[in-house]
Structure 1
Amino acid sequence: MRIKYAIPIVFFVALVIIEKENNIISRVSDKLALKQTPQAPIHTSRSGNALPKRNVSVTSLGKPSSAFTLMKRHLEKYSEHQQAAAAVTNGRKDILLLATTRTGSSFVGEFFNQQGDNMFYLYEPLWHVEKMLTLETGGTNATATAKAYCDVLRQLFLCDFSLLERFIEPLPVDHITASLFRRESSSSLCREVVCSPFVKGVYERYRCRNMRCGPLNLTMASESCLLKEHRAIKVVRVRQLETLRPLAEDPRLDVKFIQLVRDPRAVLSSRMVAFPGKYKTWSNWFMNSDVLIDDNEVKKLKSNCDNIRMSVELGLRQPVWLHDRYMLVRYEDVARLPMKKASEIYKFTGIPFTPQVNDWILKSTQASKETRGIYSTQKNSAEQVEKWRFSLPFKAVQLVQKVCGSTLKLFGYKFVTSEEMLRDKSISLIEDFL
């Protein structure tokens, strides 16, 4: 009798969960397809002449296509292949730096930001997408966010900011915004060619440091991007490499994926300093032996480690769509041998290693104490490798090793078996395998 009533109940619950999932994805699809449609960018040159209008890619989140739409796509695909041939001839490279927070991605991102006039670099554009989707759905949905991230990145590599605009709050007016996240971290957005006149009374939180520019004109940014030889984007919000496969298979792009990883024990230590509010549970556990660590925090740690490990395993397998497109980089190797690793990274991308990057690395890896800070890219890089070993309690190290053991082994990080071993700097915890 119990089974008789249990089956309908389970079936009903399953339907409710599926419906909720579909509603979230539908709302994200609506945002990509409909929001701000009346304000879709009409690219114009500074002389006022119209530039070719770009299409916003929302097919991955849209509804099933009609026969007409399918035929139209076949025609567009042919056009895309023609564009791809031109892109290859021109030698353009699209670089995506994948990481998680507190892995040294800002430092490595500067390898491209400092490249010079031939590189268009963007710092964390997906911050806006995550924030908007979290607000609208009451939390992040992995399926919906992954598709949105991929669509936005595709358009940005094509120098089209129209899709990103739809996630910026407040909405840009006439494609002008004072709210782009960390604009000052992208030299491409603070150069004279995109520096609009300063507007008195307009507050821009992430304003350019070296120039007194007004709010960012995204149409001008798009024009500047199109004139650059190469494009690079740094992101810390993509969970799985597999979700970016459409970028590798898009004939209009030539994407190189660089995945940056760091010892999970060091990442935990760094995040506690950078985000004390979010890691208060961990701090309480560190200071009070009677306090138990929250199971949800442990599950979150495990999920982060598993996601990174699975992405790296996929990258190292080199499936057809990733052949010659994937490079794994450990932060510890960059910190110890920055010039050598930078040279290897540039060789992988196929872009010449410029004197500007060389000079920046020399300056930034031997910074004085006065120039250092939590978010600074100017640090004594060698010191950062071992710093966590003297701030993280041994019991925390044991927990991370238990939860993220397979990740540590894959990346070549040695396990610590005692507190004495943890504090002994003469013992290296890094295998020389990369």
Structure 2
Amino acid sequence: MPFRFRYRRSIYLLGLLTVVSVIVYNKKLHAKESWSNKSTTTNAIEKHTAPNAVILLTQRRSGSSIVGELFNQYVNVSYFYEPLFPFDDTCKQSLQNQTQKTIQHIASCELTHLPKLYNEAFNVTNRDDKYSKCKEYGVCFAGYTRSKYSAYLTRDAQICHTTEVHQQCPAPIDLDRLSSHCRSSIMVAMKVIYLCRLEWITPLLSSKQSNVKIVHLVRDPRAIVNSRIPQRDLKSEVNKARFGVIRFYAHQICDQLSSNVDYADMAVGSLVPRESYLRIRHEDFALEPIQVSEKIYKFLSLPFREDMRKWVLDATTSNTQASELKTGDQGTKRNSKEIVSAWREKLSFEEVVVIQEICKDSLNKLGYRVFNTEKELQNVQELHFEPMV
């Protein structure tokens, strides 16, 4: 074979080999980039489609136990039950900084800071830690009845275990381990009933480094007052004292309620991103639990799974009637529609008038009807609010 022909063939083969090599390399590079992009997209879904934290902000006896279970029952959500218990609802200005720090550390899964903050709060409020056991466990209500506890401690973190009626945890809980688990969960949620002023945590809502959302649960203050006071007695002197208790609670509840509603109406859309705040009325949840649950999950960018849908239906259509619920019952299974108007059959018209005089502003802003006659009050077939769902 002539040399010139062999030389040309060698050049041709070398060129062909180069082209093939480039094609193979480009395919590998493309595959690698595709995997990288897919991985990034997956991480984005896992990390950013749900907020880092959601705060269920409400007041005592506002239906927060059952709404909080929307988070507690959700697998791989770290749900903190009343983490501000040591701070009480006395609204001590001296605890504002510690309140904000506590919520911030929970939202960012830095749980090792909690014992120090809890000790400082208890030293100011002198609350009894017998049931919450915040100091014993390092987190509040870790080892409590199964109607008041954080399910993820057993279900997901596997730090505790449950008996028929209680959740049992080691004391103190390993907060380093719990923080690590918390960071791996899809969302951090907390039910907060001892935050006096929404404005105290504005920096957490407006910070670019934080992705915290608020679900603000409100309820007719007349129903809240009824839920907190003792039942009427046949003795007139007992009922006179009852009026004093009603006035006290009406002022306490409505001062805080009006303050937070006014602040939210002013701040949301300016100081606080509009997509970070959602207001829910307890009564709307009671009437249409599925629709309101869907609204909450959509707000949080969480799928409303079928198991949660079944749980909501079961929890809100219990055979337990409102008249059978004991005073102080804070269970999460009840006939919600019965609960909506139950207070109207338990408070006298005179008592309702007292509450309405104190809470007029809150009632008007939240869309609750004011009763002018006893006949209107007792006509429970007619709702005292316009359903929003």
Contact 2:214 2:276 in 1 (8 A): yes
Matches within 5 A, 1:47-66: none
What SS is found at the alignment partner of 1:327?
strand
Q: What TM-score do the two structures reach when normalised by structure 1?
A: 0.66
Matched to 1:157, the amino acid is A
Task: Give the aligned partner of residue 383 of structure 1.
Answer: 338
Contact 1:176 1:217 in 2 (8 A): no
1:105 aligns with 2:61: no
**CA deviation string 1:55-106 (max 9, x = no partner):** xxxxxxxxxxxxxxxxxxxxxxxxxxxxxxx999821411011000000011
Matches within 5 A, 1:138-157: 140=90, 142-157=92-107
Distance in 2 (CA, whole Å) between partners of 1:194 and 1:250 is 33
Matches within 5 A, 1:283-302: 287-288=236-237, 291=240, 298=247, 301-302=250-251
Structure 1's 422 and 249: CA in aligned 2 closer, same or farther, altered over 3 A? same
**CA deviation string 1:153-210 (max 9, x = no partner):** 000111111222121588xxxx9944743225211122363325x8xxxxxxx98947
Matches within 5 A, 1:73-222: 90-91=47-48, 92-93=50-51, 94-117=53-76, 119-130=77-88, 140=90, 142-166=92-116, 167=118, 177-178=136-137, 180-183=139-142, 184=146, 185-191=149-155, 193-195=157-159, 209=165, 213-215=169-171, 216-222=173-179
Contact 1:412 1:433 in 2 (8 A): no
Structure 1's 364 and 372: CA in aligned 2 closer, same or farther, altered over 3 A? farther
Distance in 1 (CA, whole Å) between partners of 2:167 and 2:242 is 47
1:266 aligns with 2:223: yes
Structure 1's 142 and 211: CA in aligned 2 closer, same or farther, altered over 3 A? closer
Distance in 2 (CA, whole Å) between partners of 1:358 and 1:313 is 33
**Unmatched 5+ residue regions in structure 2?**
1-42, 123-128
**CA deviation string 1:255-280 (max 9, x = no partner):** 111111111111011112xxx4xxxx
Q: What TM-score do the two structures reach when normalised by structure 2?
A: 0.73
Distance in 2 (CA, whole Å) between partners of 1:394 and 1:306 is 22
- How far 1:225 sits from its partner (Å)? 0.5
Task: Give the aligned partner of residue 31 of structure 1.
Answer: none
Contact 1:116 1:356 in 2 (8 A): no
**CA deviation string 1:282-305 (max 9, x = no partner):** 957994498377768635522431
Q: CA RMSD in A?
A: 3.2
Aligned pair count reads 320
Contact 1:312 1:328 in 2 (8 A): no
Structure 1's 353 and 290: CA in aligned 2 closer, same or farther, altered over 3 A? closer
Question: Percent identity among equivalent residues?
Answer: 26
Distance in 1 (CA, whole Å) between partners of 2:108 and 2:45 is 14
Structure 1's 292 and 125: CA in aligned 2 closer, same or farther, altered over 3 A? closer
Matched to 1:341, the amino acid is V
1:313 aligns with 2:262: yes
What SS is found at the alignment partner of 1:193?
coil
Distance in 1 (CA, whole Å) between partners of 2:213 and 2:332 is 23
What SS is found at the alignment partner of 1:259?
strand
1:333 aligns with 2:280: no
Matches within 5 A, 1:416-427: 416-427=371-382
Contact 2:79 2:189 in 1 (8 A): yes
What SS is found at the alignment partner of 1:333?
helix
**CA deviation string 1:124-179 (max 9, x = no partner):** 01102439xxxxxxxx5532222211110000111111222121588xxxx99447
Greater radius of gyration (CA): 2
Contact 1:97 1:258 in 2 (8 A): yes
Task: Give the aligned partner of residue 253 of structure 2.
Answer: 304
Distance in 2 (CA, whole Å) between partners of 1:221 and 1:207 is 21
Distance in 2 (CA, whole Å) between partners of 1:397 and 1:158 is 43
**Unmatched 5+ residue regions in structure 1?**
1-85, 132-139, 199-205, 277-281
- How far 1:213 sits from its partner (Å)? 4.3
Distance in 2 (CA, whole Å) between partners of 1:129 and 1:208 is 30
Matched to 2:183, the amino acid is L
What SS is found at the alignment partner of 2:279?
strand
Contact 1:98 1:257 in 2 (8 A): yes
Contact 2:284 2:388 in 1 (8 A): no
Contact 2:141 2:150 in 1 (8 A): yes
- How far 1:342 sits from its partner (Å)? 0.5
Matched to 1:330, the amino acid is R
More displaced, 288-297 or 328-337? 288-297
Distance in 2 (CA, whole Å) between partners of 1:289 and 1:394 is 17
Contact 2:233 2:239 in 1 (8 A): no
